[in-house]
């Protein structure tokens, strides 16, 4: 007795005798997907891909498929924009630089703070509660009239471009941004502890 003809579950006009090794449905050559053992249907392959964990780097970042290092480029753009702001309005440096504890006089100049305040002078800096300076100081660079000037920004952005792309690829965007900001805060805290009366 001859076996009854069977049809592909997706293409009823195709006669087939091959079954998916997972779900046991009949599949035609168009629906077959090679598997370690036998063949799978399209739905079983999709289901299997959903249950596979995404690959990770050694440091926990998601393995990316040639994506642009967006965080590195954003940090570079932010640094350049802040530098342009410094050139246009130099008082930005005094407002956002890392200052541990200094006295600002009536003339706007900074004076060493030794624990006492005087009439007409006000305490400014991190010691006065300006905690934002711990982060904002990381985006400031030497003004163009300084001895190193624009080259300070160029070398920093070159280093960020070279190192940042590799680190962002290994850590992932969120971890890389967290590392960058924690490094900025850590460097500012060190300046605050070692030289609180200097501006960086």
Per-residue tens of pLDDT for the chain, all 200 residues: 444 568 898 998 888 888 998 898 999 988 888 888 888 998 888 887 777 666 666 666 666 665 789 999 999 999 999 999 988 988 887 778 877 666 777 777 766 666 666 777 777 777 778 888 889 988 988 777 767 778 889 999 999 999 999 999 888 889 999 999 999 999 989 988 887 766 66
Token reading at 11: 């293409």
| Helices vs strands, H then E, count in the chain | 6, 5
Are residues 158 and 76 in contact, defined by beta-carbon separation less than 8 angstroms? no
Decide: residue 199, CB within 10 A, 0-12 exposed, 13-18 middle, 19+ buried: middle
pLDDT at 1: 40
* pLDDT tens digit sequence for 128-151: 788 888 899 889 887 777 677 788
Are residues 178 and 66 in contact, defined by beta-carbon separation less than 8 angstroms? no
70-194, superfamily in CATH? Rhomboid-like (1.20.1540.10)
* pLDDT tens digit sequence for 84-112: 998 898 888 777 887 766 677 777 776 66
Longest CA–CA span in the chain (Å) reads 112
Q: What's the predicted TM-score (pTM) here? A: 0.64
Are residues 43 and 32 in contact, defined by beta-carbon separation less than 8 angstroms? no
Token reading at 43: 């739905």
pLDDT at 149: 76
Residue positions counted in the chain: 200
pLDDT at 2: 47
Residue 135 backbone dihedrals phi, psi, to 5 degrees: -100, -45
pLDDT at 179: 96
- List where CATH 1.20.1540.10 sits in the chain: 70-194
Parallel, antiparallel or unpaired: strands 39-40 and 33-34: antiparallel
pLDDT at 45: 86
> Closest by alpha carbon to 200, among 61, 98, 91?
98
Are residues 25 and 9 in contact, defined by beta-carbon separation less than 8 angstroms? yes
């Amino acid at each position: 007795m001859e076996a009854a003809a069977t049809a592909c579950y997706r293409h009823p006009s195709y006669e087939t005798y091959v079954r998916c090794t997972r779900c046991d449905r009949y599949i035609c050559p168009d629906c077959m997907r090679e598997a370690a053992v036998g063949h799978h249907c399209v739905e079983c392959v999709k289901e299997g891909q959903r249950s596979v964990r995404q690959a990770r780097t050694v440091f926990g970042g998601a393995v990316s498929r040639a994506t642009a290092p967006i965080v590195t480029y954003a940090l570079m753009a932010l640094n350049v924009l802040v530098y342009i702001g410094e050139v246009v309005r130099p008082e930005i440096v005094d407002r956002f630089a890392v200052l541990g504890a200094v006295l600002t006089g009536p003339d706007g100049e900074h004076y060493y703070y030794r624990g006492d305040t005087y009439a007409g002078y006000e305490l400014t800096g991190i010691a006065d509660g300006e905690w934002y300076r711990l982060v904002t100081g990381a985006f400031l660079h030497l003004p163009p009239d300084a001895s190193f000037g624009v080259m300070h920004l160029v070398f920093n952005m070159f280093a960020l471009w070279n190192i940042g792309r590799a680190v962002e690829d290994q850590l992932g965007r969120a971890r890389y941004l967290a590392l960058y900001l924690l490094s900025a805060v850590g460097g500012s805290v060190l300046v605050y502890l070692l030289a609180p009366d200097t501006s960086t």
